[in-house]
Structure 1
Amino acid sequence: MKPWRHLRFWLLWSALTAAPIALLSGAYVLLSGSLAPGDLALLEQTLSDLLQTRVALLGLLLVVYGALVAAALVQWWQSSVTPLARLAEHIAASAEHADAPDLPLEGDALTRTLAAAANRLIADRRSLACSLGERIEAAGASLEQERSRLAALMSELTQSVIACNLDGRVLLYNPSALALARGLSSAPAVAAGCELLGLGRSVHALIDPRLIDHALGRVRHALQQGKANPTSSFLAPHPGGQVLRVQLAPVRHSPVDAALTGYLLVLEDVTKAMAADAGREQAVLAFSDTVRSTLAALHGSAGQLGEGALQAQLAEAMPRVEAVSRQAHDAVRTTWLLEDMLGADLLDLAAQRMSADGVLSVEIEPPEQAWWLRVDSHSLVFALCAMAERLASEYAVRRVALRLRAGARDGEVQLDLVWQGQALSAETVMGWELDSLTHGGEALGLSLRDVAGRHRAAVSYERERARHESSLRLALPLADAPIAAPVVPTIDSRPEFYDFDLFKLGPVVSALDDARLVDLSFTVFDTETTGLDPSAGDEIIQIGAARIVNGRLLRGESFEQLVDPRRPIPAATIPIHGIRPEMVVGQPTIEKVLPAFHAYARDTVLVAHNAAFDMRFLQLKAERTGVHFDQPVLDTLLLASIAQPNQPSHRLEAIAERFGVTVTGRHTALGDALATAEILLKLVPLLAAQGIHTLHQAREASQRSYLARLRY
């Protein structure tokens, strides 16, 4: 920072400039006290004449004197004060980062002596840190080996595995999961799936959170019932038309602990398998229908021809063909969405969902037997809750009951939603069956009839006039009880397949402005452009970015993409960024790249060096691409000027040199983004030392920086 930007500089200059005037004034006071009245009057007359005739000369002398004082003061400040301030900033950086370079020997003799002494202390600290690091490395060798084994095992799995905390943030995933995300990506050539899956990202970009919440509810209920290793399976449709089969397993501190710390997801893309199965089932259905109709025609023809024996044989075969036809019809309904569930558990889960808002009181009638059902629990529970919500809102029903009874036919049970009071007309029941189901402001996308058809269930409305009791009834087919799994003996601790905490994650950021910088996720990016004037038509030709999650730079989840600017690249800029015109031929345009980058940067704070320049390009492309970057933005140029205000330069190379950061691929978008990310990680503790801990504080401090006035 320049000397004249300091208040202390001007206070010192004012004192030195006023000193001669103060001395002359003091001398006049002393002299006037010792003179006779006549002499004093003569002195005053002489001074008055001098001031009247020589005022311009005296003013000029005062200005020259003030300028000489300022020049001398600037020289002294830059040779003594500024080196001390820079030395203090270098020492602060070295205290936070052991790999920082030696302190520069600059300034006067005393400052250089102090810097040399500090360098000796820093060298001792490096030696100590190196020794300590070797001990830690030796002690952690076995841990690293276990991590490597786990990573190797995960990479060999053909299933896609994702580990999440309870907020849905991804803590671990394997290459198969990334390959699956790449297949689901709307821009696989640009983002390669990183906009859907990455450490610290929300898994809800892949899977509807309602499905996960429902599965977690089932698992928690099973744990409360004392089940040892419960899991929940479901199908998750993706907006692109693909369907994922998902199995969710809980993660706990110990096998006897019912509290969850997270969950594991095993995913499989079953889109093609479902289509193939549907084709096979339709073929079987068509074949069975053809055989049945042909057999019926033969039976009729045999009767007309008087072939009694043949007609009898055909009549005997007809029931078997009808049975096969019914089985074929039943097989057409897909079983991908259905899973075995104890009837009592289904009632408990539905009751919890219905009574969650406190409007309805729900009573459960215990089932007569431990019936097992094959159901899509999510859609079935949603349908029951939607019906109960309509009863409450349209008929002021406040108490309902759920019951499960033996059905009228073998292999069937009746699931009833029961209430007392208002009866429903046939037209109302028909309308409710056909209306799209909604509950809690969310739509399922299916009607009650659709849900019933998925379960081969019949929907009916029952009324017991004597008891003033009405019920909506679903006649559901029973499933075979599952074979009991062998009891696994309880052991004192987990088998040591690995020995590190995958689920250690910072607190969830509920309000970004109040979040600590160390808890935030960042997308650090840079752009290469055809020129420096975005308003005059210069275009982006490359975007590079990397993510910081939980204080770690994720180099493996980087974003790098050339962009066809659809305009010539000036020859004068090619030596700077190294991007030649032929390199962008055939590359995607900004209309495709920017939406992919927007998805990649979702739920993070944007960071750039001289961010005003890069953000101006993004803002000008917002209307054309349909994406708006409305998340907070931090600028390492401004942050560095706050953390180290006395340094002569805050260019990217200068800051990197001060922090010992190696810049690889300077003036490539990804190279500059990676260097900026490392600089940000080193700036965070320096900002904390100045009391800047939260995003709000960092943004406020950035706005006060003298460099914040840059506009593009």
Structure 2
Amino acid sequence: MKVDRRLIQAIVVIGLATVVWLALTIGLITSTLEPAQRDLLAEQLAPRLALIGLTWVFGLVAIGATLRWLFRRYATAPARLVEQTQVLLAAPKAAPMNHQGTKETKALADVIFQLASQRDSLREDVAAQIAQASAGVQQEKNRLAALMSELTQSVVVCNLDGRIILYNNRARLQFKTLSQAPTLAGGAELVGIGRSIYAVFERQLVAHALESIQQRIGRGAGSPSAQFVTTTQAGQLLKAQMAPVRNVDATGAAAEITGFVLMLDNVTRAFEEENLRDQLLHGLTEGSRSSLANIQAAVDMLAYPDLDEPMRERFLGVVREEVASLSARITDMTQKSTQGLKARWPLEEMLGADVLLATQRRIEARNKRPVTLENIDATIWLKVDSFSLTQALDYLAMRLVDEFDVKFFRLRLQASGARAQLDLIWTGQVMSTETVMSWEMDSMRFGAESTPLTVRDVVERHGGEMWFERERVRHEAFFRFLLPLASVQEQLEATQILHNDSRPEYYDFDLFQTTDQSSKLDDRLLSELSYTVFDTETTGLNPSEGDEIIQIGAARCVNGKLLKQESFEQLVNPGRLIPAATIPIHGITQDMVRGKPVITEVLPAFYKFAQDTVLVAHNAAFDMKFLQLQEKNTGLVFSHPVLDTLLLSAVVHPNQESHRLEAIAERFNITVLGRHTALGDAMVTAEVWLRLIPLLQAMGIHTLHQAREAAQKTYYARLKY
């Protein structure tokens, strides 16, 4: 622990004062003695000067220890009480102070805590009254959040600077498909509160659309909008419809534009299908024109009555050849159009039980036969085209009813390795393998309705298998479909869309008030900046001696809020063994990083995630050293401004004995979860940083430059890695 400079100064002053006092005392005594007596005294004291000096040193040490005890009890304790009181002022809810000091300061701490508790009660009363008064506004806000979340179309709302202030679940998933590293950042480097939409769209394209809207507003259009189609960096074709967000003036009329809404559709597949249909139609038209001309010419020649027999046979041969050619061309087009039809409905993540319920309703409605469900695993998620799959099962049930008068059916679903088994079961007469194959290959027909798709087409569309089996003991038979399971990530995302527990994280309307400023980042207020709070787990503590990153975790803070769902978390293969001694600390084993991307693949995604933000970390010098050592390998220089919560804690709380992350979190009454995981530590550090901002502002530290300057003056800034 560092010693307070004031204590050292006090001991030095007391030491000098005792030396002066001792010198004056000796001088006064010797002035009263005769010369012979002085000589005798000097003769007696000279051998004992070392003992006198040693006694002085011991006395000074005793005085210093006493002063240190008094200083800690009567000077440092009140200073700590001041810092704890500042924490109470900045905290949303008072926590017990646990003050260690004199009886008087402990009593004062109790009184301060009581006042803070009364303040919290008053805050709660005021908050309750405000909540009651704004119930109508909150209801409208909830309706908007619900509407945005349930939409199946991607919606993104931006301010005029192109900063995202709202987006829905569908947009988050769609931006993941646009990412160049979807398995790493998961699209988080493209979409997020406060991020720029220009990471996806060209700035000039958006500006042109806004200009078009302005012109339509000028012409008096009531609901102006603009549309454009663009290609993303990932090669996807996006169709965007833009609508303005306008202020409302005192008269209730719409005023100037403050932002815009983008409704996005990925039209890549639709465009490719349209292009294929155009090519097929063009090929059929051009190829058929010549065939029809040849047929017409041959028919005209055959109309002559005096045409000899060899010539007649020749022209009949032309007709046959051209008809065969035309028939082959039409057949080829039909097959290609069927392939397009099979891909018309994309595979989607669905709960297996929902697929069976839909099939049950369809078979019962069409065939008037009862269908029961059995052995349904409620945890199975399928990746299927539910429409064509239920259509195929309904078709097979219809054929069984029509040809074998089956009285009832059962549907069964269970997991089988990496796939799921879906069985259509019946009791009664069974058919031959030839009959099954013919049903498989016939186009599906339902009375007057028909489709060129076959059951085999549906199976191939899913990359699965289908066969017929008998159970002779039970006198049962069934069709079994092997279907793909949704991946764990797809199940999670589908669950989020269905149950939607994350609405409030996806909007921040306060960003309508922000604009890009021309001033340097250092001059920006701390409350205005966006932050990427990150942490790393490593193989050891010596980055310059070969230790490597094994995990990176990060969260974003925008507009004074921690966006918990806009996070970055990735395990990294260090290319070396993880020391056994470090595994109990971070919990990451060699098996966990085997097959994971190396740091040169992860850092570009993290760099994009942290773009246009200030980096924040606890003991940032350690984490930044690992990033800097990778500059040659990746070509990426993390030139972002960096803030360190360790140093800034020492700025606002210089009298606290510990500035470890756990100690700071305890002072701020922050619950620590996932300690020594990269993302867990990043989340705690972000909470700490948000609590530090008002304390820094109370000390007159308002800008990024002031915060960095204050941090560099602390004792802990001397640490190097």
Which TM-score applies when normalising by structure 1? 0.67
How many Å separate the matches in 1 of 2:521 and 2:538?
A: 30
Letter in 2 for 1:18: L
Aligned to 1:280: 277
Aligned to 1:564: 573
How many Å separate the matches in 1 of 2:72 and 2:592?
A: 48
Q: Is the 8 A contact 1:659 1:679 kept in 2?
A: yes
231, 236, 244: which one pairs with 1:250? Answer: 244
Q: Is the 8 A contact 1:17 1:69 kept in 2?
A: no
CA gap of 1:506–1:74, structure 2 versus 1, over 3 A, is farther
660, 677, 697: which one pairs with 1:688? Answer: 697
Give the SS at the match of 1:191: coil
Q: Is the 8 A contact 1:100 1:658 kept in 2?
A: no
- Measured against aligned partners, the alpha-carbon deviations of 1:339-360 in whole angstroms (never above 9, x if no partner) come to xxxxxxxxxxxxxxxxxxxxxx
How many Å separate the matches in 2 of 1:234 and 1:48?
A: 104
How far residue 139 of structure 1 moved from its aligned partner, in angstroms, is: 3.4
Aligned to 2:133: 139
Aligned to 1:261: 258
CA gap of 1:153–1:664, structure 2 versus 1, over 3 A, is same
Aligned to 2:516: 508
How many Å separate the matches in 2 of 1:617 and 1:13?
A: 43
Q: Does 1:77 align with 2:71?
A: yes
How many Å separate the matches in 2 of 1:691 and 1:50?
A: 63
How many Å separate the matches in 2 of 1:236 and 1:49?
A: 103
Report the identity percentage. Answer: 48
How many Å separate the matches in 2 of 1:74 and 1:100?
A: 31
Q: Is the 8 A contact 1:505 1:550 kept in 2?
A: no
Q: Does 1:616 align with 2:622?
A: no
Aligned to 1:472: none
How far residue 196 of structure 1 moved from its aligned partner, in angstroms, is: 0.4
Letter in 1 for 2:4: R
How far residue 256 of structure 1 moved from its aligned partner, in angstroms, is: 4.2
CA gap of 1:298–1:125, structure 2 versus 1, over 3 A, is same
Give the aligned length.
515
Aligned to 1:482: none
668, 681, 684: which one pairs with 1:675? Answer: 684
How many Å separate the matches in 2 of 1:186 and 1:643?
A: 42
Q: Does 1:606 align with 2:615?
A: yes
Aligned to 1:202: 196
3, 9, 31: which one pairs with 1:11? Answer: 9
- Measured against aligned partners, the alpha-carbon deviations of 1:61-84 in whole angstroms (never above 9, x if no partner) come to 443333333222212112221111
How far residue 595 of structure 1 moved from its aligned partner, in angstroms, is: 1.7
Q: Is the 8 A contact 2:533 2:617 kept in 1?
A: yes
Aligned to 1:337: none
Aligned pairs for 1:373-384 within 5 A: none
Letter in 2 for 1:5: D
- RMSD of equivalent CA atoms: 3.1
Q: Is the 8 A contact 1:249 1:265 kept in 2?
A: yes
204, 225, 231: which one pairs with 2:225? Answer: 231
- Measured against aligned partners, the alpha-carbon deviations of 1:429-463 in whole angstroms (never above 9, x if no partner) come to xxxxxxxxxxxxxxxxxxxxxxxxxxxxxxxxxxx
Letter in 1 for 2:244: P
How far residue 582 of structure 1 moved from its aligned partner, in angstroms, is: 2.5
How many Å separate the matches in 1 of 2:238 and 2:37?
A: 103
How many Å separate the matches in 2 of 1:49 and 1:692?
A: 64
Aligned to 1:383: none
Aligned pairs for 1:31-430 within 5 A: 56-254=50-248, 256-291=253-288
Aligned pairs for 1:474-553 within 5 A: 501=509, 503-510=511-518, 511-553=520-562
How many Å separate the matches in 2 of 1:45 and 1:294?
A: 142
- Measured against aligned partners, the alpha-carbon deviations of 1:634-655 in whole angstroms (never above 9, x if no partner) come to 1111111111111111111111
Give the SS at the match of 1:189: coil
Letter in 2 for 1:190: L
What are the ranges of 5 or more consecutive residues in structure 2 without an aligned counterpart? 305-506
How far residue 263 of structure 1 moved from its aligned partner, in angstroms, is: 0.8
- Measured against aligned partners, the alpha-carbon deviations of 1:156-213 in whole angstroms (never above 9, x if no partner) come to 2122111101111000011111111011011212211111000000011111111011
| Greater Cα offset, 547-556 or 526-535 | 526-535
How many Å separate the matches in 2 of 1:627 and 1:555?
A: 26
562, 587, 590: which one pairs with 2:596? Answer: 587
CA gap of 1:668–1:503, structure 2 versus 1, over 3 A, is closer
How far residue 305 of structure 1 moved from its aligned partner, in angstroms, is: 11
Q: Is the 8 A contact 2:165 2:508 kept in 1?
A: no
How far residue 55 of structure 1 moved from its aligned partner, in angstroms, is: 5.2
Letter in 2 for 1:94: L
Give the SS at the match of 1:526: strand
Give the SS at the match of 2:565: strand
Aligned to 2:439: none
| Greater Cα offset, 139-148 or 499-508 | 499-508
How many Å separate the matches in 1 of 2:152 and 2:89?
A: 46
How far residue 135 of structure 1 moved from its aligned partner, in angstroms, is: 2.8
Letter in 1 for 2:18: P
How many Å separate the matches in 2 of 1:513 and 1:599?
A: 21
- Measured against aligned partners, the alpha-carbon deviations of 1:126-164 in whole angstroms (never above 9, x if no partner) come to 222233333334334443333222111111212211110
How far residue 564 of structure 1 moved from its aligned partner, in angstroms, is: 2.5
How many Å separate the matches in 1 of 2:40 and 2:230?
A: 101
Aligned to 2:645: 636
How many Å separate the matches in 1 of 2:215 and 2:190?
A: 30
Letter in 1 for 2:628: Q
How many Å separate the matches in 1 of 2:259 and 2:44?
A: 89
How far residue 292 of structure 1 moved from its aligned partner, in angstroms, is: 5.0
| Greater Cα offset, 57-66 or 512-521 | 57-66
Aligned to 2:18: 20
Q: Is the 8 A contact 1:531 1:539 kept in 2?
A: yes
Q: Is the 8 A contact 1:642 1:702 kept in 2?
A: yes
Q: Is the 8 A contact 2:533 2:556 kept in 1?
A: yes
Q: Does 1:706 align with 2:715?
A: yes
Give the SS at the match of 1:230: coil
How many Å separate the matches in 2 of 1:42 and 1:258?
A: 106
How many Å separate the matches in 2 of 1:593 and 1:151?
A: 33
Which TM-score applies when normalising by structure 2? 0.66
Aligned to 2:673: 664
How many Å separate the matches in 2 of 1:152 and 1:119?
A: 40
Letter in 1 for 2:681: D
How many Å separate the matches in 1 of 2:128 and 2:254?
A: 37
CA gap of 1:295–1:258, structure 2 versus 1, over 3 A, is farther
Aligned to 1:449: none
Letter in 2 for 1:165: N
How many Å separate the matches in 1 of 2:42 and 2:215?
A: 100
Q: Is the 8 A contact 1:100 1:659 kept in 2?
A: no
Q: Is the 8 A contact 2:94 2:120 kept in 1?
A: no
Letter in 1 for 2:273: A
Aligned to 2:388: none
Q: Is the 8 A contact 2:166 2:508 kept in 1?
A: no
How many Å separate the matches in 1 of 2:657 and 2:278?
A: 75
Q: Is the 8 A contact 2:246 2:256 kept in 1?
A: yes
How many Å separate the matches in 2 of 1:570 and 1:100?
A: 42
How many Å separate the matches in 2 of 1:46 and 1:227?
A: 115
Aligned to 2:313: none
How many Å separate the matches in 2 of 1:500 and 1:119?
A: 33
CA gap of 1:40–1:123, structure 2 versus 1, over 3 A, is farther
Q: Is the 8 A contact 1:604 1:631 kept in 2?
A: yes
CA gap of 1:701–1:208, structure 2 versus 1, over 3 A, is same
